[in-house]
Every structure is written in structure tokens, then in C-alpha cells.
């Protein structure tokens, strides 16, 4: 066996460009992470071998991207003890090695094994793959051009994650998250329920925080949802906001509207503009994003069946479901009642029965990914909650879906 690189080797600038393979890592930059597979004399003297060490972790998580968001996510996963193994991947070898080394120095205080590489081999057998990598929007750049550049990045990432961890759940964090979740789904060939985005989880948290500040209660005591796009067309569901089961709209029917004397409606604007203000102040957002992502990861890996507003596929392929279930009748797959052709909602150009459109996934029949309240478990999205919306909220959700669909049709994958 070749010798392992010393700490002096790692820190010597001349070694950064080396591409010499060392064990399973691509470069001596990663040598400090390589564990000797052969038992040493000291190990033999110290311990008696009872059983072989299990190689595959049951809660291995991959984080792609070692930027501000990626490392904040990694740190949050570690301190919340959500995974037993963490694999970090980035194209920037030097930065990746430095960030990993920094985390490794605190290995005494965390439980997870930490590995890293520029080679996706390190991600093998992950249960959850979190993608934070992407390009930033340049000054004057159109949104579609930004998306197209990120598509190019995802073409280098998603197929490799899918190949090394074919049974994993993909969690997309890169922005614009809804469209890129759609791109990841197309590139991975994974089933829809195993490709999700962080969506409006953070938006909903901000929504609750700002409401709680007005009411002087803890944010966890406020139940409110932002759905739709993670962006300007997101939809605040004021009709369902409650504190301890008391709906605020029962106390003030105008809450959230222009007629609200307390101007609660401005909270949604505050939610949408929060990221812009943070970027102006510190250059990026990271910590709250990371906390929301780690909460999603925990729900999936621990199979807690928690409800969170994540980006998910919302169009119901009714006839695909009928065929897969070997059902040859025109029964609704949701309510099981017969659905005649007269009941179809042709006003939106759909061949789906109206009851399915209304009762299954908020009546949106576009092939888009956007945020709805989802029950999360080890298979990703287990259920979508049939959240009641008033007419205004339904129209807003459809506008949000149209916005995303208009962007999607311009993408070249």
C-alpha cells in the first residue's frame, strides 16, 4: 500500500493540484479522511474482534455543494444527529477538503461519520441526497437563462446520484427550487414521490414567526401555511391560520385582506421579501434554510410522517393510476365513485374527472412541481393533505402553477 499523506502534505500548496488516487479518494487532499481497512497492531492489542464492521450505514445522507447553504445544511444535520454518515461532494476540491477537515476536527462532539470527495462514488447507498449546488443569478440575467445554466449543472449531478443511490430520496434546495425539482425528476427517472424540493417550508416558518410576533406567542403555536411557488407567486392560506385551534379568520373575517385594519396581509409581503433583505445585509441566506432542510431530512429518515409544505409533483395521472391498479372502470381513484364523461372538467383541457381535480390535489392539472402540505416518510412524499382553500386561494394557486409551467416549457433538458 502507498503511504498515507501527512498533515504537512495536505497543507503543502503544491499538493492541491495532484490527481494521484489514494484509496477511495481522488487526491491526497482527501487523505486525512481515508481510514485504514487493514487492522493495525495497535488495534489488535486494544480490541478483540467480535464481528465484522457493517459497511453500509442505514442513515447515510449526501450533501452536494460545499457553499454557504450546503455547509449550513451539513452542520445542522450533524448537530441534530439526523444521520449516521454524511457524504459531502463538490467540484471545488480545495474548499471541500477544508470544510470537511474543519468538521472532522469536531468529530468528538458529533456521532456521524463524515466523508468527502469530488467523485460521486462516495455517495453510494445514500438514503437521502440533498442538492444545494447551483449557479447564482448574474446582474441583468433573465430567469430562464439562470434556470438553463442550472440545468447544465444538474446534468452533471443528478444522474450520478441516481446511479449510486437508486433507492434514495432526492431533496432539491437549489433555486429556483420548484423548477429545478422538476428538472431533477426528469434527469433521475425516479418516481415522483422520491423527488421533492425544500419548497415553502422556510416560507411557512417565516409566516408563522411574523404572525407570532404580532400575537406574542411562540411560533410553534401558530399553524399557518404558504403554498405554491417558493417565490413571488406563493400563496398564504389565511383561511386556515389558527392558534390553538382558534381560526384567526373566525375572529376577523377580513384578516389577510386589504380590508384588514391590522394589516396582517403585509406579512406575506414580508415573507416574500425576507430573502432579498438578508442578501442585502449578509450576502446570502443559510441558517434558516439549513434548519428547514434538516427538519425535512429528519422526517424522511426517521419516518415520522410529519406534514410539511414541500415541493412535489401535483398533477394526477388518473388513467396511469387506473392501469397500474388494473382497474378498468371509470371510477375516481380518490373517492371511488363512478365518474362519467359528463363529469369531466373540460374547461381546463383535462380528461380527469372533476371530482379528482377538486378533491385530490387542489385542482391543478399542470405538470409542475410546487408546494403543498405533504406527509413525509421514508419513501419521500407519502400523502398530500387535501387542504381546503377558499376561491381566492384556489385562483392564486392556479396562477402560481401557471407561472411555473410557463417557465418550464422554455427549459431544454
CA angle 155, 157, 158 (to 5 degrees): 75
CB 378 within 8 A of CB 328: no
CA angle, 304 as apex, 103 and 366 as ends, to 5°? 95
Which of 193, 230, 268, 362 is flagged as catalytic? 230
What share of residues in the chain are helix, strand, coil (percent, to 5)?
45, 15, 40
Which DSSP state fits 367?
S
CA distances (Å), 39 to each of 43, 62, 86, 122, 345, in order?
6, 28, 24, 22, 68
Q: Which residues pair with 114 in a beta bridge?
A: 86
* Helical spans, DSSP H, in 50-142: 68-79, 93-104
Asked about 362 being catalytic, the answer comes back as no
Distance CA 368, CA 186 (A): 12
Give strand pairing partners of 246. 243
> Which residues are marked as active site?
230
Amino acid at each position: 500500500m502507498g503511504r498515507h499523506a501527512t498533515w504537512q502534505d495536505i497543507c503543502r500548496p503544491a499538493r492541491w493540484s495532484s490527481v494521484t488516487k489514494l484509496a477511495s479518494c481522488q487526491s491526497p487532499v482527501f487523505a486525512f479522511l481515508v481510514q485504514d481497512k487493514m487492522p493495525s497492531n495497535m488495534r489488535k492489542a486494544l480490541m478483540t474482534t467480535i464481528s465484522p464492521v457493517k459497511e453500509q450505514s442505514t442513515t447515510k445522507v449526501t450533501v452536494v455543494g460545499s457553499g454557504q447553504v450546503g455547509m449550513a445544511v451539513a452542520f445542522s444535520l450533524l448537530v441534530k444527529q439526523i444521520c449516521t454518515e454524511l457524504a459531502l461532494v463538490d467540484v471545488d476540491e480545495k474548499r471541500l477538503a477544508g470544510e470537511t477537515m474543519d468538521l472532522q476536527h469536531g468529530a468528538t462532539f458529533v456521532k456521524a461519520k463524515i466523508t468527502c470527495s469530488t467523485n460521486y462514488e462516495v455517495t453510494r447507498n445514500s438514503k437521502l441526497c440533498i442538492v444545494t449546488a447551483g449557479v447564482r443569478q448574474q446582474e441583468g440575467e433573465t430567469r430562464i437563462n439562470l434556470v438553463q445554466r442550472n440545468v447544465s449543472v444538474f446534468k452533471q449531478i443528478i444522474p450520478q446520484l441516481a446511479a449510486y443511490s437508486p433507492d434514495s430520496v432526492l431533496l432539491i434546495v437549489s433555486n429556483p427550487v420548484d423548477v429545478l425539482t422538476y428538472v431533477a425528476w426528469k434527469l433521475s427517472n425516479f418516481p415522483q414521490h422520491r423527488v421533492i424540493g425544500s419548497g415553502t417550508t422556510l416560507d411557512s416558518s417565516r409566516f408563522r414567526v411574523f404572525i407570532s410576533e404580532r400575537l406574542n406567542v411562540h411560533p410553534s403555536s401558530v399553524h399557518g401555511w404558504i403554498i405554491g411557488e417558493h417565490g413571488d407567486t406563493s400563496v398564504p392560506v389565511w383561511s386556515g391560520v389558527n392558534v390553538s385551534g382558534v381560526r384567526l379568520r373566525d375572529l376577523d373575517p377580513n384578516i389577510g385582506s386589504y380590508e384588514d385594519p391590522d394589516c396582517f396581509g403585509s406579512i406575506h409581503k414580508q415573507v416574500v421579501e425576507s430573502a432579498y433583505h438578508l442578501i442585502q445585509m449578509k450576502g446570502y441566506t443559510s441558517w434558516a434554510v439549513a434548519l428547514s432542510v434538516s427538519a425535512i431530512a429528519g422526517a424522511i429518515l426517521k419516518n415520522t410522517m410529519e406534514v410539511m409544505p414541500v415541493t412535489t409533483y401535483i398533477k394526477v395521472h388518473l388513467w396511469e393510476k387506473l392501469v397500474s391498479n388494473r382497474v378498468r372502470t371509470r371510477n375516481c381513484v380518490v373517492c371511488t365513485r363512478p365518474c362519467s364523461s359528463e363529469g369531466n372538467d373540460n374547461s381546463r383541457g383535462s380528461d380527469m374527472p372533476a371530482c379528482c381535480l377538486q378533491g385530490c390535489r387542489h385542482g391543478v392539472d399542470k405538470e409542475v412541481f410546487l408546494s403543498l402540505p405533504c406527509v413525509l416518510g421514508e419513501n419521500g412524499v407519502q400523502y398530500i393533505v387535501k387542504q381546503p382553500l377558499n376561491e381566492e386561494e384556489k385562483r392564486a394557486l392556479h396562477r402560481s402553477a401557471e407561472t411555473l409551467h410557463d417557465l418550464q416549457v422554455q427549459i431544454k433538458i
